[in-house]
Amino acid sequence: MADRPMADPPPGLSGLSTAELTTWFEARGEPAYRARQVVTALWSGGTSTHAGDLTTLPRPLAAALDEAFRWTTVADEAVIASDGGQTEKTLHRLSDGAAIESVLMRYPATSGRRARHTLCISSQAGCAVGCPFCATGELGFERDLTTAEILDQVRSAIGRLHPGERLTNIVFMGMGEPLLNLDRVLESVAALNDSDRLGLGARHITVSTSGVVPGIRRLTALGPQFTLAISIHAGRDALRDVLVPLNRRWPVAEVAAAARDHARKTGRRVSYEVTMIGGVNDTDADADALANLLRGDLAHVNLIPMNPVAHTPWNASPMPVIERFASRIRAAGIPVTIRRNRGVEIGAACGQLAAERAGAPAAPAVAWRRQRLEAASARALRGERSDEPVPAGVEA
Ligand code: SAH
Ligand code: SF4
């Protein structure tokens, strides 16, 4: 007998707006305040696992809600702590078997600053961009996440916070390219802003992109929604073609121009991220190329030592090299910070845990990949552009 296709699971409740939930209740002759009751319960961090747990809802109504929607769309398969419990990575399993990750980072209060709790979330399962230093890039693209799947990572983290803690920052720096799933990312950000849900201000939300220019332009037209971070990694096309393959579609000057325009029109500083890879993108010439690209812009540069990923020939730049790079950027009048890596031992860089669970590729494939990367970065250092194609799927 032929396999019957599995029915799609019901949609996740967190993906519904309050207006949509209200319509659902009203269609059943229920008052609008029921929607608010459900939203409050969803975002309370409580231990409910389905609507039937809510004492505020009449039983038959809760049963109907549980039949129509899922209370959560993520099953937390593993929670792994590092940095003495300050960093916590969660592997979430989705209904179709896809695995995604989120990372909770606790920053204790210092004399000048309150405690912060930052959650890094995923926007896609896998990623089509294929940056070679990134474990998610190596996995390839699986699918876009739904709005509920994005938001349920946040609800899962709220449920794991200790008493007195609250999420102060959300960064879309987990798996996936958020600007290739922009509608759902925007819906999620609106929910995170909503005072009935997380109530987090746009200033406390950061979305990181590898440089999808049409997405950046669309955001500029919408006005400030969140802090925009650009994963720049190299100011020269030859090297950026290798490190961020969609550079072959949108070259670095176009990315910087779109980001500059965004900063001017929104009045908000753009962050530029550089994953520092020893002997690859950390030379004086690279620092100067980046400084020239960003000189005079409303910009901030973050230098992040590369987290070692199994299947590359590369490692983090040594700290003195990173400091020297930083001083050249600073000398051009551009603010720069060096970010310490969190959770290195649990593979907290994007996609590392999911990649491990997916199983290692065969040894010859890994060796071949390393060789190709070494050759490609050597060519790039000589200034030769790559003739590799634009990755499939980045045009969506
Ligand atoms: N796709 C988006 C957002 C997710 S990646 C983007 O690329 O911006 C979030 C950040 O993690 C990016 O700046 C990315 O370059 C960085 N990253 C990926 N792999 C890394 C690694 N092995 N070490 C350090 N940073 C890494
Ligand atoms: Fe995708 Fe970002 Fe990883 Fe590049 S760094 S492969 S864009 S998730």
Pocket test for ligand 2, best of 100, 103, 131 (most atoms within 8 A of CB): 131
Q: Is 189 inside any structural domain?
A: yes
Ligand 1 atom closest to 230 (CA): 8
210 Cβ closer than 6 Å to some ligand 2 atom: yes
Q: Which of 46, 68, 90 is the last residue of a domain?
A: 68
Q: What is the pLDDT of residue 1?
A: 45
What CATH number should be reported for the domain holding residue 353? 3.20.20.70
Give the amino acid at 354.
A
Residues in the chain: 396
Task: State yes or no: pLDDT of 388 exceeds 90.
Answer: no
Closest CA to ligand 2's atom 4: 131
> Does 2 map to a domain?
no
CA–CA dist 238, 138 (Å, integer): 20
Residue of 371, 295, 386, 385 lying closest to 333 (CA atoms): 295
Same domain, 246 and 178: yes
**What is the pLDDT, as a whole number, of residue 347?**
53
Q: What is the pLDDT of residues 360-369, one digit of tens each?
A: 677 777 777 7
111 occurs within a structural domain: yes
> Who contacts 57 (Cβ-Cβ below 8 Å, separation ≥6)?
34, 37, 38, 51, 65
The full DSSP string for 300-338 is EEEEEEPPP-TTSS--BPPHHHHHHHHHHHHHTT--EEE
| Ligand 2 centroid, distance to 122 Cα (angstroms) | 11
Q: Is 88 in the pocket of ligand 2 (CB under 6 A)?
A: no
Active site residue 350: yes
The residue annotated as part of the active site, out of 127, 131, 134, 350, is 350
pLDDT of residue 353: 59
Distance 34 CA to ligand 2 centre (A): 40
The more confidently predicted of residues 155 and 81 is: 155
Q: State whether 39 and 169 are in the same domain.
A: no
Q: How far is the centre of ligand 1, averaged over its atoms, from the C-alpha of 253 (Å)?
A: 20
Indicate the residue among 68, 89, 108 that finishes a domain.
Answer: 68
- Please tell me whether residues 23 and 91 are part of one structural domain: no
Ligand 1 pocket mutation pick from 209, 213, 231 by most atoms within 8 angstroms of CB: 231
Q: Are residues 64 and 81 in the same domain?
A: no
How many Å lie between the centroid of ligand 2 and the Cα of residue 184?
18
Q: Is 173 in the pocket of ligand 1 (CB under 6 A)?
A: yes
> What is the four-CA torsion angle of 108, 110, 112, 115, rounded to 10 degrees?
10
Shared-domain flag, residues 228 and 199: yes
pLDDT exceeds cutoff 90 at 342: no
Ligand 2 proximity of 129 Cβ (cutoff 6 Å): yes
Domain-located, residue 188:
yes
Pair (121, 39) in one structural domain: no
Q: Which of 150, 250, 350, 352 to mutate to test the pocket of ligand 1 (most atoms within 8 A of CB)?
A: 350
Instruction: Report the number of distinct structural domains present in the chain.
Output: 2
Pair 380, 386: CB distance under 8 Å: yes
Same domain, 112 and 180: yes
Distance CA 210, CA 215 (A): 11
Is 396 part of a structural domain of the chain? no
pLDDT (0 to 100) of residue 273: 95
- Same domain? 61 vs 96: no
Catalytically annotated residue among 20, 88, 101, 395: 101
- The reply to whether the predicted model has a pTM over 0.75 is yes
The mean pLDDT of the chain is 90
Question: What would the mean pLDDT of 59-84 be, rounded to a whole number?
Answer: 94
Whether the predicted pLDDT of 179 surpasses 70:
yes
Q: Say if residue 276 is in the same domain as residue 306.
A: yes
- Amino acid type, 276: M
Same domain, residue pair 125 and 35: no
User: Which CATH number does the domain housing residue 54 bear?
Assistant: 1.10.150
* 127 Cα nearest atom in ligand 2: 1
Is the same domain home to 49 and 147? Answer: no
Specify whether 55 is located in the same domain as 81: no
Q: Are 301 and 281 in contact (CB under 8 A)?
A: no
In angstroms, the CA 25 to CA 130 distance is: 44
Tell whether ligand 2 has an atom less than 6 A from the beta carbon of residue 177.
yes
pLDDT of residue 343: 61
Distance 129 CA to ligand 2 centre (A): 6
| 19 found inside a domain | yes
CA distance 369 to 65: 49
Name the residue with the closest Cα to ligand 1, atom 8: 209
Mean pLDDT value across residues 26-41 = 95
Pick the residue with more confidence: 49 or 329? 329
Cα torsion for 253, 256, 257, 259, to the nearest 10°? 160
**Domain that includes residue 26, residue range:** 13-68
Residue 7 forms part of a structural domain = no
In a domain, 391, yes or no: no
pLDDT higher than 90, residue 128: yes
